[in-house]
Chains A and B, each alone.
Chain A
Amino acid sequence: MNELPGDLLYTNDHEWLRREGDGSVTVGITEHAATSLGDLVYVELPEVGQDVDVGGEMAVVESVKAASDVYAPIAGSIAAVNDDLADDPEKINADPYGDGWIVRMTLSDGLDESELMTPDAYQQMLDELDD
């Protein structure tokens, strides 16, 4: 597994968030999640403009093996979705932190970073999963 990008925040559900300059955040799933799922074959994306609550089902990623929900890590509204995933869901496997992004969200409130994990904290959680 590659080193975690240091500029992202992470969740217990193996999602990542990137803070964009305009106050929005980009969300995807981590390399650990993508690898665990295996080759992705389908991604169900939300509608742009849809409002989501923290922990609400936001997208579904399906691999050859299984379907897995992607939960909203924060409350907000869907500003953009990665339409490229419709034709090429394997972008998530190939580049989970880049081309494999899933949605961009505008936040209802500010970003409470204390609810999220730093790269170090997430790495520690992964290390514990391996034990």
Chain B
Amino acid sequence: MGLKTPHYDKHVEAGARVVDFGGWDMPLHYGSQKEEHHAVRQNAGVFDVSHMTIVDLLGERVREFLQYLVANDVSKLKDYGKALYTAMLNEDGGVIDDLIIYYLSDTDYRLVVNAATREKDLAWIRKQAEAFDVRVTERSELAMIAVQGPHARELAAPCIAAEYREAALAMKPFFGMEAGEWFVARTGYTGEDGWEIVMPAADAHAVWDRLLAAGVVPAGLGARDTLRLEAAMNLYGTDMDDTVSPLEAGMEWTVAWEPAGRDFIGRSAIEALRNSPNRQRFVGLLLEDKGVLRNHQKVIVDGVGEGEITSGGFSPTIGRSIALARVPAGDYDRAQVEVRGKLLNVRIVKTPFVRNGQIRIDV
């Protein structure tokens, strides 16, 4: 018996296959993972993401604290509600977690970190916050859903209180806003448009029912994983962890090198790797032979060396197998993957594989 989100009864009601995820009893799928995947790409799906950890930071020196805590630079956040994706690094430059930061005011930021890393994240944030006199408050009492898909916002809009609805619909991608006791953000983990909505747990059931009645399909962790893989969005613990540099996990775009004088945790370690000729690549793979690529399979680059698939699976949108992989430095665009003793051919492709319903690679 694991932890249960406020939506748990709704998952059971919808016939979910429930699995343990980071200590939480979460829906893997509600019948067909593929159908849930397609529903998000083509219409709208709703995910329970209440297990994710919401942390509010308050204090006069919050900005200064975040400029030290994370690899991206929160001084990029100038407009109310603006979101920033980034990583917290350890002193060795490994990724403690990836997270989203929302800017609410100069003294008030909201973080959303992963569920499976909750304890270590909170301990790390609290430890680092001491010197900055920042108040760290976990908001475990809140529920959170992600409504994703090309029609997600229009189908979910009636759930939002009338006085905030227009502003929510007008909100640009990668922004969030407070809507009474709710927080609505145009963010997600699928490569589709949509919202992530934080709300009091007491509202969770009614909103879920209303979305399903509007035709939004409940989608589980399985579809969440294939959707994020197609969108080439990293999964913590799989694509990167405490031992992996963000520079070798496709996350350099989330590292702000400028201003050069900003001393964030892990900076000196990753700077040493920045221009190293041995820095591993983090690439997308498309399987050209039949089969399915899986996590941890060995990638062999003839005459160069070996790497590993960090996330592999079947892409329901493309109908082929795709993967993210960490591979040796070098200039090449083909490799082989060892699958049950056989070598299968893969092509290195520019990610994302799929975005906004469209296949973005040559297949």
Contacts and interface: CB of A to CB of B under 8 A. Distances in A.
Interface of A: 38-39, 41-42, 44, 60, 62, 64-67, 86
B187 interface: no
Contact of B226 (A42, A62, A64): A64
Q: Is the interface of B mostly helix, strand, loop or mixed?
A: mixed
Contact of B316 (A42, A44, A64, A86): A64
B82 interface: no
B290 A42 contact: yes
Interface stretch (B28-36, B239-247, B254-262): B28-36
A41 B33 contact: no
Contact of B292 (A38, A62, A86): A62
B340 interface: yes
9 contacts: A38-B32, A41-B292, A42-B290, A44-B290, A44-B291, A62-B291, A64-B33, A67-B292, A67-B340
Contacts of B290: 42, 44, 86
A8 to B, nearest CB: 25
Nearest to B316: A64
Contacts of A42: 290-292, 314, 321
Nearest to A39: B34
Interface of B: 28-29, 32-34, 37, 222, 226, 290-292, 294, 313-314, 316, 321, 340
Given A38-B33, A42-B292, A67-B294, A60 B222 contact: no
A60 B340 contact: yes
Given A38-B29, A64-B226, 14 more contacts: A38-B32, A38-B222, A39-B32, A41-B292, A41-B314, A44-B291, A44-B340, A62-B291, A62-B292, A64-B33, A64-B34, A65-B28, A66-B294, A86-B290
